[in-house]
Amino acid sequence: MLPAILTPSSCLSLIAAAPAMPGALPPAGDAGRLPTAHDGPPRLDTPAASGRIPGNKGIWVGITCVFVEFAVLFSVYFVSRAHFPTDFEAGHARLSLVAGTTITLLLLTSSLLIALSVNAIRDGKRRQSIGWLIGGLVLALGYPVAKYLEFRWNLAHGIRGDSGIFFTVYYYLTLTHLVHGFWGILGMLWVLARNLVGAYSSAEYSGLEALASYWHVTDMIWLIIFSLCYVLV
Amino acid sequence: MRVTSSSTGTLALAGAWALLVVLTLGSLGVGRSLHASAWLTPIVAAIVWLKCTLIARYFIEANRAHPFIQWALRLFIVFVPIWLLLTAWLGERIAGWTTL
């Protein structure tokens, strides 16, 4: 059973669950092959009948847990906002817009490079895939650095967790997201190592795609946090 | 069915990324220019929905994913915009309902 907050070991084990699972992509050898009468009726769990699973089932169990976790956290944000609207309106304006925008651009671009890495491995271009993956990892590492600098800036400007309800909510939302960012970075290191040793190919890359799915969702959640904490002034 | 990069090509990914960057920077301008306006919340809600949908469509390739994944993404993506609109229009009622 998965914990609500993924641990590094659980993330890595999900990403490492690379062998083909029902619903994952079939081997490249089946590419474009039309069904014949010998194939019998289509099975309901085949990709054609029910859609494919990006990565593997395990990572989507984890991602669903992350959805539930952040749905609860966002609900707390909105209930607090309904109770203290003026505190929230005043709080937004005190945060560093430069830090929030920098993190957003870092995560968006990192997400793009990871998606390009998946595309490259699908095309059988492993070296290119490794290159994109390293690029995505370098940008992803900028996230905790930017967050550290932002928190330093906050403290220098008297913005602490007990500075008001908005900042309490802001800190728990962003710190929880940062933890998920760390899991994603650890996952990137793992899939990079596996890619370097040739574990992925155009026929089998579910581990890399699982990491990509997790990272895109992490990116998506940050985009929401960015709008809630930095944009709504 | 073999999935190749042509399904979500490099250009499509780069286009989605560029649009996401434009929306991000645009939302900052909207936040500043529509300060305290009643239009700010619906516009931000729409931007949040659009940005998350772009990620789901082009990066996660949700349109070809299993129905469960599609629905999980749809529900999560629409969750925050709905909350935003509810808090903007029914903030006091929500505060009343959630007072201990």
ipTM for the complex shown: 0.91
Least CB–CB distance from A28: residue in B2, B59, B70: B2
Q: What are the chain B neighbours of A26 within 8 Å (beta carbons)?
A: 1-2
Give A165 to chain B, closest Cα distance, Å.
14
With contact defined as beta carbons under 8 Å apart, do A113 and A202 qualify? no
pLDDT in tens, B41-72: 999 999 999 999 999 999 999 999 999 999 99
Whole domain around residue A147: which residue ranges? 69-231
Contact A31 B2 (CB under 8 A): yes
Q: Which two tokens stand for residue B64?
A: 């070809």
A128 touches chain B (CB under 8 A): no
- Cβ of B70 within 8 Å of Cβ of A32? The answer is no
**Quick one: what percent of chain B has pLDDT higher than 90?**
65
Residue A82 in any domain: the answer is: yes
Strands (DSSP E) contained in A42-104 are none
Mean per-residue pLDDT of chain B: 89
Q: In DSSP terms, which residues pair with B65 in a beta bridge?
A: A52
Structure tokens of A44? 């309901």
Which residues in chain A touch residue B61, judged by CB atoms under 8 angstroms apart?
54
Position A145 in a domain: yes
**Which residues of chain A are within 8 Å of residue B54 when distances are taken between CB atoms?**
none
Is residue A118 situated within a structural domain?
Answer: yes
Name the residue with tokens 């469960």: B68
Q: What is the 3-state secondary structure (H, E, C) of B63-97?
A: HHECHHHHHHHHHHHHHHHHHHHHHHHHHHHHHHH
Query: Given B47, B58, B61, which is nearest A54 (Cβ)?
Result: B61
Mean pLDDT of chain A: 83
Residue B40 has its nearest CB partner, among A54, A123, A232, at: A232
**pLDDT above 50: residue A126:** yes
- Phi/psi at B59 (nearest 5 deg)? -90, -45
Alpha-carbon distance values, A223 to A160, B13, B42, B77 (Å): 23, 17, 16, 11
CA A208/CA A190 separation, integer angstroms: 9
* pLDDT level of residue A50 (50, 70, 90 thresholds): low
Which among A108, A220, A233 has the least Cβ separation from residue B17? A108
Is residue A40, in this structure, part of any structural domain at all? Answer: no
Please tell me the distance from the alpha carbon of residue A119 to that of residue A200, in angstroms, as a whole number.
Answer: 12
- What is the pLDDT confidence band of residue B7, given thresholds at 50, 70 and 90? low
We report the CATH number of the domain holding residue A79 as: 1.20.120.80
Q: Is residue A194 part of a domain?
A: yes
For residue A205, give the amino acid letter. Answer: Y
**In this prediction, what percent of chain A has a pLDDT beyond 90?**
69
pLDDT for position B92 = 86
A6-28 tens-digit pLDDT: 444 444 444 444 444 334 444 43
- Tell me whether A49 touches chain B (CB under 8 Å): no
Residue A32: inside a domain: no
Give A181 or B2, the one with higher predicted confidence. Answer: A181
Each residue's pLDDT tens digit, A90-119: 888 889 999 999 999 999 999 999 999 999
Chain B positions touching A226 (Cβ under 8 A) are 24
Structure tokens at B45: 């809600």
Cα four-point dihedral sign B34, B36, B37, B39: positive
Nearest-CA neighbor of A200 among A119, A138, A140?
A: A119
Provide the residue count of chain B.
Answer: 100
Question: CA end-to-end span of chain A, whole Å?
Answer: 40
B-chain residue closest to A109, CA distance? B17
Structural domain count, chain A:
1
Put simply, the answer to whether B95 touches A232 (Cβ < 8 Å) is no
pLDDT digits (tens, 9 = 90+) for A177-201: 999 999 999 999 999 999 999 999 9
Select from A72, A73, A58, A71 the least CA-distant residue to A1: A58
A22, part of any domain? no
Question: Can you tell me whether residue A222 is helix, strand or coil?
Answer: helix
Using the beta-carbon criterion (under 8 Å), do A109 and B24 form an inter-chain contact? Answer: no
Q: Is residue A39 part of a domain?
A: no
Tokens of B8: 């979500």
Contacts of B74 (CB under 8 A, 6+ apart): none
Residues 6+ apart with CB under 8 A from A98: none
Nearest to A83 among B28, B56, B95 (CB): B95
**Chain B partners within 8 Å of A109 (Cβ):** 17
How close is the nearest chain A Cα to the Cα of B89, in Å? Answer: 10
A178 Cβ contact partners less than 8 Å away, ≥ 6 residues apart: A143, A144, A147
